[in-house]
Amino acid sequence: MKSHKSDDTPHQEQLFIDPLIHVPTRFRILSNLYLVGWVDFLFLRNLTGLTKGNLSSHLIKLEEAGYVLIKKEFVNKISRTTISLSDSGREAFNLYRKNMKIMLDEIPE
């Protein structure tokens, strides 16, 4: 039987849910970066409540995917790591939000 939905309506099976973002901890990290231009590593740790090692490993994965930009710098001779969302990371995050919303809307109440 043919579907009644038009072809331009996204179906659940067509929606791409990025597995890299779908991990709750990574979503939390990306949410915070989405809301602020950049944060330093310490501030992000306080926001997410993650340990240093845990946050580092997630950030490295996100950096490898090109979703975050990690910059190491010296401010008044003190080293600091700043993290920001890249353009492709912002795009991927917005797509994830959009697709998740469509998926949740399609679930019958």
Partner 1 sequence: MNAEKELKKARQNLYRTMTMDGIADISIGMIFISLGGFVYIDSYGALFIAIIAMLAPLTAILRKKIVDPRIGSYDADSFLQEYDVDPRFTYFGIAFLILGVAVGLMVALGVSIPAFIGDGALIIVGLLVAIAISMFGSYTGIKRLYLYATTLLVLFIHGALQNYPTADGMDIVRKALGAHILIFGATILLSGTVICYKFLQEYPIAENSENEIS
Please give the residue ranges that form the binding site for partner 1 (CB under 8 A): 22, 24, 27-28, 31-32, 34-47, 52-53, 55-56, 59-60, 70, 72, 78-81, 84, 96-97, 100-101, 104
- Pick the closer one to partner 1 by CB: 9 or 54: 54
Structure tokens at 103: 């998926």
Which of 78, 108, 97, 76 lies closest to 30 in space, CA to CA?
97
Q: Which two tokens stand for residue 45?
A: 């740790």
Closest CB 6 distance from partner 1, rounded Å: 25
DSSP label of 23: S
- Distance from C-alpha of 2 to C-alpha of 38, rounded to nearest angstrom: 49
CB of 87 to partner 1, least distance (A): 12
2 vs 77 by CB, closer to partner 1: 77
